[in-house]
Homo-oligomer: A and B are copies of this chain.
Amino acid sequence: MKELKIGMKDSMARTVTAEDVEMFAKVSGDCNPVHLDEAFAAKSMFGRRIAHGIISAGYISAVLGNQLPGQGTIYLGQSLKFLKPVYLGDTITTTVEIIAANEEKHIYTLKTECVNQLGKVVTTGEATVLYK
């Protein structure tokens, strides 16, 4: 296991595809037409199809589980604010940074942020994990 310190950060970039959005709709059951139906989405406030907000939470989960803290991480909690829509084809860079550590209980708080290719924060929040 690695030693965790406040200020450590890591990130991952992924591009959201139409196939991703369709698979997530199948997994979750969230078949909102703003995600799946181009004609419907064109008439919505978004103007075109958007990804499910929770897909960006999946990216956070990936960085936590794969990179920082990495394998062995137990996910205890997450807060999320969906600030801007994620469109199909957007490239989202997800960064996690350790901002608090309870070394006795092995519980860490990380700032979690998803930023699009224009540099706009689309999703922000905090994760709580157990790592020992």
Point out residues on A near B: beta carbons under 8 Å.
Answer: 12, 14, 20, 23-24, 26-33, 45, 52-55, 57-62, 65-66, 71, 73-82, 125
Contact = CB atoms under 8 A, between A and B. Distances in A.
A71 B33 contact: yes
Given A54-B54, A61-B54, A80 B82 contact: no
14 contacts: A12-B29, A20-B26, A23-B27, A28-B59, A28-B61, A28-B62, A29-B58, A29-B62, A31-B66, A54-B57, A77-B79, A77-B80, A77-B82, A78-B82
Q: What 9 pairs across the A-B complex have the smallest Cβ distances?
A: A28-B58, A30-B62, A32-B65, A29-B62, A23-B23, A77-B81, A20-B27, A78-B80, A79-B79
B75 A78 contact: no
Contacts of A125: 77
A71 B33 CA distance: 8
Nearest to A51: B27
A30 B58 contact: yes
